[in-house]
């Protein structure tokens, strides 16, 4: 039976990215199992509504092109828009969706403004399982000044906790958690092939050099093929017009391969729903993932994953998973990257049960963190 007073409105969702879809749907499904209903406010609604019709989605119009051109207008519109949603008016709690968007690369002002609106309407609120930072000095001040509008900031690693503390956020508002994708149920591997999944992405923030990254990925793919594997270039972000498409980066990298290597490499450029992607990942021998949640979804599907870390969140997660030796920097040395890859490949079979145990442990912890938050917010699941 649903708790009638335990309704949640999840905001800031971007479901075109399967990594974010894993976070949001994992949270929604876990809330439902706890007897808490939720509605999801999502950007790019028209692109994904037909794929996820079984979820309670609401269109977020603040992602329209005019607000990209006029960002100052976006927060004004977003606050007005939120008041028009019955799900917002009826919700006891406003939850900022899980992810890695609370930083100065993506901007925080528009997101924080929604919590002020919620506070003024007497709502309890939290930002769920988030990577916080890095922040500019200006955004640090914003985080400090808006903290009174947000009851709980759930940080999904110790690095994020430290960034919040450096912003001046009161420690009583900070709750450390793990990643929300661990709320998803685990799938067992169907490893029946000599195929390796490789996800790539462009990343130019933080002084990163895509050319260095491309050289490293070429070296790693060549090593995988020389060891007798076929490679499928596959990502959490691809195949939807008007959204980031990692298959374009994949095509560029494949174009740099020698002819004899290239014939063993396939680029999958189609769109896959979250469940479809998870099913695909069950069939690979292992995964090399630049997008962090390509790695997480792979491991949640029973397939070990080597991480290419372009932000701190990758290293931070692999450290608490106990797999810190299996993460490589986005601009790492190619020879060292290949050496790490070979070590990873040699240990695949001994890693499989460790990955399974780690995923089970993190799933249990994720449910505990969710229940702790609901208790903190005064929500009594049934």
pLDDT, one tens digit per residue, over 206-242 is 899 999 999 999 999 999 999 999 999 999 999 999 8
283 and 344 in a single domain? The answer is yes
* pLDDT digits 0-9 by tens, 282-314: 999 999 999 999 999 999 999 999 999 999 999
Answer yes or no: is 377 within a domain.
no
Answer yes or no: is 52 within a domain.
yes
Tokens of 356: 């399974």
Rounded percentage of the chain residues whose pLDDT exceeds 70? 96
Contact 44, 15 (CB under 8 A): yes
Model confidence at 5, pLDDT cuts 50, 70, 90, reads low
Model confidence at 73, pLDDT cuts 50, 70, 90, reads confident
Of 177, 211, 232, which residue constitutes the final position of a domain? Answer: 177
Answer yes or no: is 348 within a domain.
yes
Residue in 234, 332, 247, 331 with CA at minimum distance from that of residue 289: 234
Residue 212 neighbours by CB under 8 Å, 6+ apart? 331
* pLDDT digits 0-9 by tens, 228-282: 999 999 999 999 998 999 999 999 999 999 999 999 999 999 999 999 999 999 9
Answer yes or no: is 172 within a domain.
yes
Helix (H, G, I), strand (E, B) or coil at 135: coil
148 and 251 in a single domain? The answer is no
Helix 18-33 crosses helix 292-300 at what angle (to 10 degrees)? 50
114 and 260 in a single domain? The answer is no
Which residue do the tokens 């207008």 mark? Answer: 73
Contact 192, 378 (CB under 8 A): no
207 and 312 in a single domain? The answer is yes
d(CA 130, CA 163): 12
160 and 20 in a single domain? The answer is yes
Answer yes or no: is 94 within a domain.
yes
- Predicted confidence (pLDDT) at residue 34 exceeds the cutoff of 60: yes
Query: What is the pLDDT at residue 171?
Result: 97
324 and 287 in a single domain? The answer is yes
For the stretch 308-340, what's the b/e string if a residue is b when 16 or more beta carbons lie within 10 angstroms of its beta carbon?
bbbbbbbbbbbebbebeebbbbbbbebeebbeb
233 and 344 in a single domain? The answer is yes
CATH of the domain at 213: 3.40.50.2000
Model confidence at 172, pLDDT cuts 50, 70, 90, reads very high
Query: What is the pLDDT at residue 165?
Result: 98
81 and 208 in a single domain? The answer is no
Answer yes or no: is 27 within a domain.
yes
Model confidence at 192, pLDDT cuts 50, 70, 90, reads confident
Residue bearing the bigger pLDDT, 284 or 191: 284
Answer yes or no: is 105 within a domain.
yes
- Predicted confidence (pLDDT) at residue 92 exceeds the cutoff of 80: yes
d(CA 44, CA 18): 13
124 and 213 in a single domain? The answer is no
Residue in 314, 274, 232, 297 with CA at minimum distance from that of residue 15: 274
163 and 240 in a single domain? The answer is no
Mean pLDDT of 6-33: 96
- Predicted confidence (pLDDT) at residue 25 exceeds the cutoff of 60: yes
Mean pLDDT of the chain: 94
165 and 35 in a single domain? The answer is yes
Answer yes or no: is 369 within a domain.
no
Contact 327, 345 (CB under 8 A): no
- Predicted confidence (pLDDT) at residue 3 exceeds the cutoff of 60: no
Query: What is the pLDDT at residue 81?
Result: 83
- Predicted confidence (pLDDT) at residue 4 exceeds the cutoff of 60: no
Query: What is the pLDDT at residue 79?
Result: 80
Tokens of 124: 């309890």
166 and 199 in a single domain? The answer is no
What range defines the domain where residue 18 resides? 7-177
Of 151, 177, 203, which residue constitutes the final position of a domain? Answer: 177
Helix (H, G, I), strand (E, B) or coil at 67: helix
Residue in 365, 381, 379 with CA at minimum distance from that of residue 125: 379
Query: What is the pLDDT at residue 1?
Result: 35
- Predicted confidence (pLDDT) at residue 125 exceeds the cutoff of 90: yes
The domain total for the chain is: 2
């Amino acid at each position: 039976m649903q708790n009638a007073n335990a309704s949640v409105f999840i905001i800031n969702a971007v479901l075109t990215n399967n990594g974010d879809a894993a976070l949001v749907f994992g949270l929604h499904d876990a809330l439902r199992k706890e007897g808490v209903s939720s509605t999801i406010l999502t950007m790019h609604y028209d692109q994904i509504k037909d794929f996820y019709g079984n979820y309670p989605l609401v269109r977020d119009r603040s992602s329209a092109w005019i607000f990209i051109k006029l960002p100052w207008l976006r927060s004004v519109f977003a606050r007005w828009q939120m008041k028009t949603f019955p799900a917002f008016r009826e919700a006891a709690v406003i939850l900022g969706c899980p992810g890695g968007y609370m930083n100065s690369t993506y901007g925080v002002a528009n997101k924080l403004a929604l919590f002020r609106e919620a506070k003024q309407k007497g709502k309890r609120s939290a930002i769920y399982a988030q990577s916080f930072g890095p922040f500019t000095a200006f955004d640090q001040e914003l985080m400090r000044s808006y903290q009174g509008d947000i009851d709980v900031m759930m940080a999904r690693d110790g690095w994020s906790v430290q960034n919040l503390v450096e912003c001046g956020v009161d420690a009583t508002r900070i709750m450390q958690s793990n990643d929300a994708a661990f709320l998803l149920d685990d799938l067992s591997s169907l490893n029946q092939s000599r195929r390796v999944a490789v996800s790539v992405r462009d990343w130019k923030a933080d002084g990163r050099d895509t050319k260095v990254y491309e050289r490293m990925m070429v070296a790693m793919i060549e090593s995988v093929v020389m060891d007798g594997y076929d490679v499928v270039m596959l990502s959490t972000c691809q195949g939807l017009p008007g959204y980031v498409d990692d298959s374009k980066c994949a095509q560029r990298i494949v174009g740099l391969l020698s002819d004899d290597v290239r014939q063993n490499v396939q680029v999958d450029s189609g769109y896959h729903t979250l469940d479809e992607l998870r099913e695909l990942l069950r069939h690979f021998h292992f995964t090399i993932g630049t997008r962090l949640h390509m790695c997480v979804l792979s491991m949640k599907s029973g397939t070990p994953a080597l991480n290419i870390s372009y932000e701190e969140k990758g290293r931070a997660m692999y450290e608490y998973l106990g797999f810190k030796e299996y993460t490589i920097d986005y601009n790492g040395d190619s020879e060292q990257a290949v050496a790490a890859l070979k070590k990873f490949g040699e240990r695949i079979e001994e890693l499989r049960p460790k990955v399974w145990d780690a995923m089970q442990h993190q799933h249990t912890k994720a449910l505990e963190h969710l229940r702790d938050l609901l208790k903190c917010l005064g929500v009594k699941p049934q």
